[in-house]
Chains A and B, each alone.
Chain A
Amino acid sequence: MNRRSTFGYHGVPRWVYAVAAVGGMLVVLPLVAMVAKVNWPQFIPLITSEPSLAALGLSLRTSAASTLLCVVLGVPLALVLARGEFPGQRLLRAFVLLPLVLPPVVGGIALLYTFGRQGLLGKSLEVAGIQIAFSTTAVILAQTFVALPFLVVSLEGALRSAGNRYEAVAATLGARPTTVLRRVTLPLVLPGLASGAVLSFARSLGEFGATLTFAGSLEGVTRTLPLEIYLQRETDPDAAVALSLVLVAVAVAVVGLSYGRRRGSAASGGQA
């Protein structure tokens, strides 16, 4: 049900629209300015140069991997946060959400002291012959670190608004907890999970600070698209702008996808 049509009252003063327009422009105008700066005749050669393609390919691969990792780790996290009851639950939620507000550089430094050669876990890993620093694994770890909260927040919200009536019914009919999770809970929140995954993917794609601090920058190994843009900016602003536009296009597509999904799910799912 659409609440607005029920009451037929908008109640938004005109001046709010004016300020909102300024806010909208603040986001849109810089993007327009960037599009205007694109060297269109050279656009295709710029984004298909070897370093650009290597960076784009690496970004897509690592973002896909970290999204998968976010789903694997984030679904259980969201479940225990939304449905579980244990001491320290609120504290855990606060910590899981921390990367949302943490500067990525800080995340990078924290990861460095965890997985780096001299780090908390890194030392033992090094003994075991596993080296994370300067590898693509480091990029995926950095991206997962910053993207995980997006999935957890989306899914936890979906779980809470879905309620647990169906699950309770399934349980009284004799379904085991794992069966309930698989057959009832997850299908119910699938739209929320999907949009959370899409947002995590987008965040991974844009990850810069933690990667730069933690993983380094080498073509085809750790130099993702944002790092390539940052580097190209030094000598070839045209290439930097062209590649930025590619990232904007991907981000717009991702947000559009997520928005469309939410609207669709809301219309058919009929959230109370």
Chain B
Amino acid sequence: MRILRTSFSAALLGGALAASLAGCASGAPEPSNGSATGQLSGTVTVFAAASLKSTFTQLAKDFEAKNPGTKVTLSFAGSSDLVTQITQGAPADVFASADTKSMTKLAEAKLVDGTATDFATNVLEIAVPPSNPASISSFADLAKPEVKVVTCASQVPCGTATDTVEKATGIPLSPVSEESSVTDVLGKVTSGEADAGLVYVTDVKGAGDKVKGIPFPESDKAVNTYPIATVGTGKNKELAAAFIAAVTGEAGKKVLSDAGFGTP
């Protein structure tokens, strides 16, 4: 009993070590009897950056409606996480990244078919609580000592963009927190903990009336480009190419621009 109890407490400790694997259904065996027509069928697995969640969910639905018999499986996470998952063998057919750096990393691992296509851009915007308690109206306001501003850490793409803007404007910020993802920054603003946060335009739009966006002209110093590509180890290349065409096509552009993305 004694030993049992001790190993129970040890087991509790170990509980933190839960590995999260990308649980993606691989090619559902649909009865694809439409052989001669060359019609698209089967499942395409799309790994997309977290900031693409709402747009890609919409695009996938549209794609499935337009191509009956196809299924789009989506997996969202930070771009660098997705690259790690794909290089470790996660079954992805399409990779859509929130920065060129992650796409380059995947290409260096020889896992990109052909070349990546840039399909969207995103810039930073200041997000403040709806009441704007610190009366922020410009980027320079963020540097005021009494303002609690939250940014992304330099290690993640939104943080790199923040650094670039700080350098370009010559206005250094002293954030109260440097978060590891843009959603964490947004969370600190929507909960009212922070007076302001630097997030993407699309995040502000996606948050609705929970935050107020304050665009600033210096944001064009750091434009983030989103590339998309077919993954080399993908199983359904034909469908992958069709999905990418849908994203980069007119209908796709409309969905993306409605969400606040720019065109490259």
Contact = CB atoms under 8 A, between A and B. Distances in A.
Interface of A: 3, 27, 30, 100, 112, 116-118, 133-134, 150, 154, 157, 195, 199, 202-203, 206, 208, 212-213, 215-219, 222-223, 227, 230-237, 251, 254-255, 258-259, 262-263, 266
Given A213-B187, A230-B180, A231-B180, 12 more contacts: A199-B13, A208-B16, A215-B177, A216-B176, A217-B178, A234-B78, A235-B80, A236-B155, A255-B10, A258-B6, A258-B9, A259-B10
Interface of B: 1-2, 5-6, 9-10, 12-14, 16-17, 19, 78, 80, 84, 148, 150, 153, 155-156, 175-180, 184, 187-188, 191-194
Nearest to B154: A235
A222 B148 CA distance: 15
Contacts of B12: 100, 150, 199
Contact of A118 (B80, B156, B176, B191): B191
B180 A217 contact: yes
B184 A212 contact: yes
A237 B192 CA distance: 33
Nearest to A208: B16
Nearest to A236: B155
A30 B194 CA distance: 38
B13 A203 contact: yes
Contacts, number: 93
A206 B16 contact: yes
Given A134-B177, A218-B175, A234 B2 contact: no
A216 B80 contact: no
Contacts of A232: 155
A259 B2 CA distance: 10
A235 B155 CA distance: 6
Contacts of A30: 17, 19
A262 B2 contact: yes
29 contacts: A100-B12, A116-B191, A118-B191, A118-B192, A134-B176, A134-B177, A134-B194, A157-B5, A213-B187, A216-B176, A216-B179, A216-B188, A216-B193, A217-B184, A218-B176, A218-B178, A219-B178, A222-B177, A227-B180, A232-B155, A233-B80, A234-B180, A235-B155, A237-B84, A255-B13, A258-B9, A259-B10, A262-B2, A262-B5
Given A30-B17, A199-B13, A216-B150, A134 B180 contact: no
Residue with the highest number of chain A CB atoms closer than 10 Å, among B2, B12, B153: B153
B148 to A, nearest CB: 7
A227 B179 CA distance: 9
B193 A133 contact: yes
Q: Which one of A134, A157, A254 has the greatest number of beta carbons of chain B within 10 Å?
A: A134
Contacts of B148: 133-134
Given A213-B187, A218-B178, A262-B2, A231 B13 contact: no
Contacts of B13: 199, 202-203, 206, 251, 254-255
Nearest to B157: A234
Nearest to B1: A3
B155 A231 contact: yes
A83 B170 CA distance: 64
B153 A231 contact: yes
Nearest to B187: A213
Contacts of A134: 148, 176-177, 193-194
Given A116-B192, A134-B148, A206-B16, A217 B177 contact: yes
Contacts of A203: 13
A199 B9 contact: yes
A234 B177 contact: no
Most buried by A among B5, B10, B12: B10
A201 B192 CA distance: 31
A117 B192 contact: yes
Contacts of A118: 191-193
Contact of A218 (B6, B155, B177, B191): B177
A103 to B, nearest CB: 10
Contacts of B178: 217-219, 223
Contacts of A117: 192-193
B79 to A, nearest CB: 9
A233 B191 CA distance: 27
Give the top 4 A-B pairs by smallest Cβ distance, nearest first: A216-B177, A134-B176, A118-B192, A234-B155
